[in-house]
Structure formats: C-alpha cells, structure tokens
Chains A and B, each alone.
Chain A
Amino acid sequence: MGRLNVNLCGIELDNPVIPASGTFGYGYEYAELFDINCLGTFSFKGTTKDPRFGNPTPRIAECTAGMINAVGLQNPGVEKVISEELPKLKKCFHKPVMANVSGFSIEDYAYTCEKLDAQEQVGWLEVNVSCPNVHGGGMSFGTDPKAAAEVTAAVKKVTTKPVIVKLSPNVTDIVSIAKACEDAGADGISLINTMLGMRIDLRTRKPIIANKMGGFSGSAIFPVAVRMVYQVANAVKVPVVGMGGVTTAEDVIEMMLAGATAVEIGAANLVDPWVCRDIINALPEVMDKYRINSLSEIIGGTK
C-alpha cells in the first residue's frame, strides 16, 4: 500500500484527491489535458432523474478569493448519463467513479440512485441534499435532519453501493444533520457544499447572477469547511469526505487532520484545470516536510 492510499467506505483509493461534482463534468474534458487515472476518483456532474437546462445566465460571479455559481444542475438526465456519458468516461477512466445525484423529491433520489447503483463503473453514490440553486428542491432536504434522513433511508433501500450524503453548510447545526443521515444508514458524509452568496452590480444595481443568489466557493470558504469537517468528523463514525476551498497539497493535509478520509477539490479546477494532478504530485514532498509517513495515519489527527 502506498503512502497516499486511503480507504473510502471499503474501496481503496490511490490517493485522497477527488475533483468535486460540477467542476469536472463527466471527466472526459479533463482527460484531454492529463491522464485522469492519477486521481483517487472524481465525483461526476450532479445527475437528476430528468434532463435539466438549469438556470438562466449569468450563472457566474467573481468574488474575492472565490466565485458564485448558480448553474442549476444542468445535466442530460440519468438515462442519457448512463447511455452516453458513462461509456465515454469508460474509455478514459478505469477506476470506480463517484456518482453525484440530486433530486426534487424522495422518489427522484431513489429512482436516480437505483439506476446509477446498477452501473459497474460507479463505486459510490454521493447524494446531494444541499444544492442551494434550485427552487423548491435540494435546499429543503439538506436543512432539515428529518428530510435528510428520509432521503438517505430511501436511497439506501434501493442501492448496494456506499452512499455518501453531501451536506449543505447553510444550516445552524450541521452536526445534527450529519448524525441524522448516519442513523438513517449513510455510509459516509461529504461536506461542505457551496455557501449561499450574492453579488450586486454597482452600475446596474441588479444582482450579477440571474438567479440572484448562488453557491459561493473557492479558497475563501476553506476555514469554514475545515471547521465543519472537524465538527462532523468528531460526531459521526462513518468516513467524512472534506471539501470547500481546497487549493493546495497543504490544504488536503489540513482537511485530513480535521477528520476527512478523502478530500474533494472544486472551484480550483476551474481556474487551474491541472490542479488535482499537481496536488497529487506535490503531496509526497509536503508529507515529508511535516513528517507524515502515510496519509491514512493523519485522518482526524488534530491534537
């Protein structure tokens, strides 16, 4: 076993680096840039039961050390993901992939997860109960422990692969939601999704984003993410996948010390598409610097 290996819900990863959903498409755009098989895995574009165009544009706003997006879960729908995207991905990625799923009802989640669970390429299901962009959907499940638990239980009932529930940071008490998901059978918890944010154009006095508000991500949110990962990892027994503003190999290590078994990288990919490869390459040297023999030893190692 290598120094970078970690075990995420029973599946061995060559390293803990995982591009986050919505920043890595279905992988093949990046496969033109580098061999994406160097990744631990990646979480593919949030997939829903039906095809979605998403929100009107502009969908993107710049912020200090970050960005806001309100894409609105644009995706071709689960049938097309299975018939078109996964076969394309198979040609360039030979490891189990993380299937990211969103829904607008408990039935939606169960339907989409059951379909993706049956795909050989899929290693884990990452259930997004937190997308802040869609009216009447996502948000409500992730902000209520009972609703989050119901989604988790419904998905668990129809699937065989590890279910990782991805939580929203836009809540008062993230620990109670994480625990509710764990009690409902979640095999892992990933966090944090984007933070609800907004920018206003001084010239037009209108919100920059057509949808008014969107998800704030990027290095600015890293301290919030570390704090929440630390809180959740100390409260649940299942593995935690940490994310939020991770940009460097040092950030990966900090996230793991906070309690993350694996680390997702999101917005940074959009600025530097090679960042995940570069972080993986940089990890051994940074580990040496901090006298870390193997990454799996430092999970939750905050003193």
Chain B
Amino acid sequence: MKQGFFEIIENIPLTDSVYKMTLKGDVSAITAPGQFVNIKLEGLYLRRPISVCDVEGNTLTIIYKVVGKGTQQLSQMQEGTLDVLTGLGNGYDLTAAGDSPVLLGGGVGVPPMYLLAKKLLAEGKKVRVILGFNTAAEVFYEEQFRALGASVAVTTVDGSYGTKGFVTDVLNTESYSHFYTCGPEPMLKAVYKASTTSGQMSFEKRMGCGFGACMGCSCKTITGYKRICKEGPVMRKEEILWED
C-alpha cells in the first residue's frame, strides 16, 4: 500500500450516473487487476474505496457510480489533487486463467474487468467478456473491451440492448477454461451456480479502513475468516461460503 497525491486529468460521465476519472500519480503499488484504491474527500471522514479500471504508465483510471455523498462529490471534481491510498486488496490471479477465460462484469462491476482483460490478452489468452446491465442507457465500455481485442457480449435485463437477460444466460451457452467476475451479489451468486469451471469473484462490502486494520468488512469463508479489503476483494469460488 502506498499513499499518493494524484492529479485529476479528466472526469467525464459515461452514463447518467457512471463517471470515468483519469488520474496522474505514482501507481507503482498497484500490482494486480481487481485491486482498489481508497480516496480521501474533503469534509468526509472515511475514505471511499473504488476499484481500479486501468493503469498505464503513471495514469490511473477509475470508473464509479454516483450512489452517495462521496461519489456525488467526486463526480463534481474537474481538477485538483486527490489523496489516494493505492495497491489495496488482493487482486485476480492470472495464473489460473487457462487458455480461454471468461470475464463477467455487472454494472459497476465492469471496470476491474478492463485491466484484467488487458493483462490476459497480453499473455496471449483468448478472452471472452460478458457485460451485464439493466438497460441500454446504462451500458458502458463495450467498445473499449472490443478495442483491446476481446470478444464481447452485452446483456440487458430489459432486453433494450444486446441479449435479453443476465450474464449467466450467455455464460450457459459457452465453454471456457476459468471465470472471473465482479458485480452485485445476486449476480455473483448466479455466476457461482451457473459456472462449470473454477473461478474468482470480487466482493464489495462497507469498509472502515480498507487495509485490514479495523475488521469492518470481515466475512466467513470455507478456509476461515477473511477481510474483504485485505485477503479479498477477490475470492476463489472454492472458498466462498454464502451467508444466506
């Protein structure tokens, strides 16, 4: 983990409520896709954890949805410097991918799939990406994934764009060597059930510190108690213990 002061380069809306922010600073602590950063915002006590979408040179890209005070404030910032803790959490393990991994992102679970797809493609993998949204107006980053060289499918719950249904409706018709996913918990559960291979899933939980000190985001797994912020957010399918 490292503390860095990042300069805001760009902050643009991708949809009505989803923003993409590009930051410049020391990204050396970010070592794996699936990690997150924790951002200090003026007047708010706790930092805001946001997943890493991309890292290139000294540029960090985050994509976030405006859901509360913190993300609202973040969406209004056009310039300035942010106090950011980087390199948080255990990211995705690329070595388990096999030849043809599938990446499933749902809503604001899509961003971490981007750096993951980039890294897997760089290793010569055949990468399939399935992006799930509620409706056409919420779709983002389809083209960016295609530009990387991944094969992309999009699903919308209401059928207004791409395949009607959930990411699992596409997943069920395909074969793959390993799965990687990030999205809302009902989606993770559906992917867990539908998947036919080993895989990794990224979880979200309300955090205190984001670096393993406060035990605010603990969960039970088959292999013991884990902290979403430290041993997670990425967990292996085999260790997950659903709470209900």
Contact = CB atoms under 8 A, between A and B. Distances in A.
Interface in A210-266: 218-219
- Interface residue tally of chain B, by bracket? 20 to 34
| Central interface residue in B1, B207, B208, B212, by most chain A CB within 10 Å | B208
B59 interface: no
A74 interface: yes
Contacts of B214: 22-23, 60, 69, 71, 270
A54 B218 contact: yes
B217 A64 contact: no
Nearest to A33: B1
A21 B23 CA distance: 35
Contact of A29 (B211, B218, B220): B211
B213 A74 contact: no
Interface in B5-51: 40, 44-47
A191 to B, nearest CB: 21
Nearest to B220: A53
A270 B206 CA distance: 14
Contacts of B148: none
Contacts of B40: 271-272
A74 B218 contact: yes
B219 A29 contact: no
Given A53-B220, A57-B206, A62 B212 contact: no
A57 B3 contact: no
Interface residues of A, number: 36
A158 B197 CA distance: 55
Contacts of A63: 45
B119 to A, nearest CB: 25
A60 B44 CA distance: 14
Given A53-B220, A60-B208, A271-B40, A67 B46 contact: yes
A273 B211 contact: yes
Interface in B227-244: 230, 243
| Central interface residue in A25, A61, A66, by most chain B CB within 10 Å | A25
B149 interface: no
Given A57-B216, A62-B46, 6 more contacts: A29-B213, A53-B220, A57-B206, A66-B45, A71-B214, A272-B40
Q: Pick the 4 closest A-B CB pairs, nearest first.
A: A270-B209, A60-B216, A58-B206, A60-B208
17 contacts: A22-B214, A24-B213, A29-B212, A32-B1, A57-B219, A58-B205, A60-B208, A66-B45, A69-B214, A71-B214, A71-B216, A74-B218, A74-B225, A269-B213, A270-B214, A273-B213, A274-B3
